């Protein structure tokens, strides 16, 4: 999958190379064949589909941004956007579990781990044999990540972690079993309370346990969410990622690709909602004609398509400029998520309205897409956080390019 081919059509913003187009075709076929058929059942059961997760590993999707020399696909941020758009169009819940693994853990870990850590862990997570996640949010620290209370205190060749992480995607793979490994952010040092370090915490480490498995969520029910608890959890020094105090920068850099791919998930939700709404508008008749002949339905269709294409263009333009090994594009990584998440929710809402009573029941899927869309306005940064960040960043911009 590495980007070694010449562009097939460099004017195609959404598939700029043959490699990107081949990736989209592969993932769309996988999503339609394997992901879509199971989505409704796993949403209803609030269950994580681990076998499907491993199949994504067989396709090379878990290491999409990791170089081929390390067992990955060697692709870029735009490729990540393609994967998330296509998977989310079939099952946003499954896609969110994928994002937490492939972006929040695998990409983050590769960018910041040392050679020994990469060699030991990457084969397990890229294959999908290990399910991984990232722990940043806490019961009292979500948007204000630097207010986290989890601490890591050096003790010889170990660190002792104490605290709890909340709302952790892939925290549990079923009601009683932890995920396999996590990147956990914790405070080390006292310099203005901002010195953060990150640690590879693995299932089975003494003092590390599963807390509350969070059930009865509005949406994203196929994505397991849990509390992680650390009680004098002993983590070897060899499991610290980077130098002590380096991880505030690690976290900020990873937030950019996280928010970009969450926006891409919104595109998948919007696209599938439009497809369902568009087909239904031709099939359903009222007063002797298809309902797409009525102005109210035309407005739902037209507004939805225009908003989707506006968001899609913004996401892919941002992805084309985002570098995975640096940071500095917070303005637009926040911007795409601010716009696209609400856009997707509104499009799914119009789809429900167009389908009427059928839209309100699970058989037609749009009610599931609407429920899943709401989480994207909260997770990975709230709308209010993006508004704050964008307003702050615009203070340094005299003119818009």
Q: Does one domain contain both 269 and 196?
A: no
CA neighbor of 248 nearest in space, from 191, 321, 202:
191
Q: Do 341 and 271 share a structural domain?
A: yes
Domain for residue 400, yes or no? Answer: no
Same domain, 270 and 377: yes
pLDDT at 225 over 50: yes
- Examine the domain organization and report whether 40 and 57 are in the same domain: yes
Boundary of a domain, candidates 131, 154, 185: 131
State residue 192's pLDDT score: 52
**Average pLDDT along the chain:** 94
| Closest to 54 measured CA to CA, from 37, 68, 34 | 34
CATH number of the domain to which 202 belongs? 2.40.110.10
Q: How many angstroms separate the CA atoms of 143 and 122, rounded? A: 29
Identify whether 258 is a catalytic site residue.
yes
Q: Are residues 183 and 241 in the same domain?
A: yes
Instruction: Decide the pairing of beta strands 289-290 and 158-169.
Output: unpaired
Calpha distance 153→237 (Å, rounded):
11
The C-alpha atoms of residue 78 and residue 24 are separated, in whole angstroms, by 11
Residues 302, 318: one domain?
A: yes
The number of residues in the chain equals 401
266 and 233 belong to one structural domain: no
Domain that holds residue 94: 18-131
Are 257 and 318 a contacting pair, CB within 8 Å?
A: no
Q: Tell me the pLDDT band of 338, cut-offs 50, 70 and 90.
A: very high
Q: Say how many domains are in the chain.
A: 3
399 within some domain? no
Q: Within a 13 Å sphere around the CA of 364, how many CA atoms are in the beta-carbon half?
A: 23
Question: Are 214 and 142 members of one domain?
Answer: yes
pLDDT digits (tens, 9 = 90+) for 278-309: 999 999 999 999 999 999 999 999 999 999 99
Confidence (pLDDT) at 4: 40
Q: Mean pLDDT, to the nearest integer, of 365-386? A: 97
- Asked whether residue 11 is assigned to any structural domain, the reply reads no
298 falls within a domain: yes
Predicted confidence (pLDDT) at residue 211 exceeds the cutoff of 60: yes
The CATH number of residue 371's host domain is 1.20.140.10
Q: HEC profile for 113-124?
A: CCHHHHHHHHHH
Tell me which DSSP letter residue 358 carries. Answer: G
Pick the catalytic residue from 19, 202, 258, 377: 258
Regarding beta strands 151-155 and 158-169, do their DSSP bridges make them parallel or antiparallel, or are they unpaired?
antiparallel
Q: Give pLDDT tens digits for 127-180.
A: 999 999 999 999 888 777 778 999 999 999 999 999 999 999 999 998 889 999
Q: What is the pLDDT of residues 235-266, one digit of tens each?
A: 999 999 999 999 988 988 899 999 999 999 99
Q: Is the pTM above the cut of 0.85?
A: yes
Are 114 and 152 found together in one domain?
no
Residue 7 in this model has a pLDDT that exceeds 80: no
């Amino acid at each position: 999958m590495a980007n070694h081919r010449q562009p097939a059509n460099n004017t195609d913003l959404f598939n700029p190379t043959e490699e990107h187009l081949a990736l989209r075709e592969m993932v769309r076929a996988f999503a339609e064949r394997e992901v879509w058929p199971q989505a409704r059942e796993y949403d209803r059961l609030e269950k994580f589909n681990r076998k499907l997760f491993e199949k994504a590993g067989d396709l090379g999707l878990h290491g999409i941004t990791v170089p081929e020399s390390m067992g990955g696909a060697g692709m870029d941020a735009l490729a990540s956007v393609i994967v998330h758009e296509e998977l989310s169009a079939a099952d946003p819940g499954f896609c969110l579990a994928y994002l937490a693994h492939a972006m929040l853990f695998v990409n983050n870990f590769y960018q910041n781990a040392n050679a020994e850590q990469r060699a030991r862990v990457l084969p397990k997570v890229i294959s999908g044999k290990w399910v991984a996640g990232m722990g940043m949010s806490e019961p009292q620290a979500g948007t204000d990540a630097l207010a986290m209370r989890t601490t890591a205190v050096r003790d010889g060749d170990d660190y002792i972690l104490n605290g709890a992480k909340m709302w952790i995607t892939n925290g549990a793979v079923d009601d009683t079993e932890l995920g396999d490994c996590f990147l956990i952010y914790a405070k080390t040092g006292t310099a203005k309370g901002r010195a953060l370090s990150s640690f590879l915490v693995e299932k089975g480490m003494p003092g590390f346990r599963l807390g509350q498995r969070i059930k009865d969520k509005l949406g994203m029910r196929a994505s397991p969410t849990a509390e992680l608890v650390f009680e004098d959890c002993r983590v070897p020094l060899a499991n610290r990622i980077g130098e002590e105090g380096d991880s505030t920068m690690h976290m900020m850099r990873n937030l950019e690709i996280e928010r970009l791919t969450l926006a891409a998930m919104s595109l998948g939700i919007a696209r599938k909602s439009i497809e369902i709404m568009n087909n239904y508008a031709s099939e359903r008749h009222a007063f002797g004609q298809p309902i797409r002949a009525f102005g109210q339905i035309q407005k739902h269709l037209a507004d939805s398509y225009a908003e989707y294409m506006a968001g899609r263009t913004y996401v892919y333009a941002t992805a084309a400029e985002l570098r995975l090994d640096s940071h500095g594009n917070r303005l637009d990584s926040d911007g795409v998520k601010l716009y696209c998440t609400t856009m997707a929710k509104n499009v799914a809402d119009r789809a429900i309205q167009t389908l009427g009573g059928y839209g309100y029941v699970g058989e037609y899927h749009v009610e599931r897409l609407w429920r899943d869309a709401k989480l994207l306005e909260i997770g990975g940064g709230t709308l209010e956080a993006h508004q704050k960040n964008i307003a702050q960043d615009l203070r340094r911009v005299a003119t818009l390019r």
